[in-house]
Structure 1
Amino acid sequence: MTTTLPVLHGISNCDTVKRARAWLEDRGFEHRFHDFKKDGVPAAALERWVAAAGWEALLNRQGTTWRKMDAASKSAVVDAASARAAMLAHSSLIRRPVVEWPNGDTTIGFSPELFRQHAVDLTAA
């Protein structure tokens, strides 16, 4: 039996986060939303995400924030420690959404298939 809700981390005005939240809500799955802009990036959670998925998967190098960074700042991101520091300083550098599922899994990004796989555990609750 699931005792906690999935926690969806992201930014409220991010289109991908909006689609992920709508997918959960449309199917009646409760979740908790953690907004990086309002609530900050939880450092301990960021550590878990880097450990689970790797800093390369978590770092959003395709977004506006990365593209607007100067070359020196970009070239300084070379390992998990420097990536964590950059993501803590600029929450928009975190690929979204990051979901911590009740079964302990962490996923990055949204696709209906990815969410469908994890929703199986939610329906058993």
Structure 2
Amino acid sequence: MYTVYGIPNCDTVKKVRDWLDAHKIKYDFHNYKTDGITAAKLKTWCGQVGWETILNKKSTTWRELDAKTQATINNEKKAIELLVQNTSAIKRPVIEKAGKVITVGFNAAAYEELF
């Protein structure tokens, strides 16, 4: 079973959920806003795909941080600290199966190959 991590009002997450539903792929949805995310889970993801992939520097949350704060987020530990407190700065969605990150973000062509 797949788990889709994200927030329900994110346009990209909506596209992914619609795509998975249209292809009859079953998944559980984990809402960062209501369910949160642990530092341990983020550390696992960062170990698999890198903290730079998990941290969404295009997010509104990231862009609203002042330059000084952004400059301090320069390693995995700092990124995880930020992401636990500001889940909207996590790249969305993260799709996981059996503890392994399958993909981060959405690309229809890649999804055709993955699923």
Same fold flag (TM > 0.5): yes
Q: Secondary structure at the match of 1:96?
A: coil
Q: Which residue of 2 aligns with 1:14?
A: 10
Instruction: Measure the CA separation in 2 of the matches of 1:33 and 1:95.
Output: 15
Look up the equivalent residue of 1:117 and give its one-letter code: E
Look up the equivalent residue of 2:110 and give its one-letter code: L
Q: Which residue of 2 aligns with 1:80?
A: 76
Shift of 1:107: 1.2
Q: TM-score, normalised by structure 1?
A: 0.86
Q: Which stretches of structure 1, 4 residues or longer, exceed 4 Å deviation after superposition?
A: none
Count of residue pairs the alignment pairs up? 115
- The alpha-carbon distance between structure 1 residues 106 and 48, as it changes in their structure 2 partners (threshold 3 A), is farther
Q: TM-score, normalised by structure 2?
A: 0.93
Cα RMSD after superposing both structures: 1.4
Give me the identity figure in percent.
Answer: 36
- The alpha-carbon distance between structure 1 residues 67 and 105, as it changes in their structure 2 partners (threshold 3 A), is closer
The 5-angstrom pairing of residues 49-88 of structure 1 reads 49-88=45-84
- The alpha-carbon distance between structure 1 residues 114 and 103, as it changes in their structure 2 partners (threshold 3 A), is farther
Q: Which has the higher strand share?
A: 2
Gaps of 5+ in 1: 120-125
Shift of 1:17: 0.3
Gaps of 5+ in 2: none
Q: Which residue of 2 aligns with 1:48?
A: 44
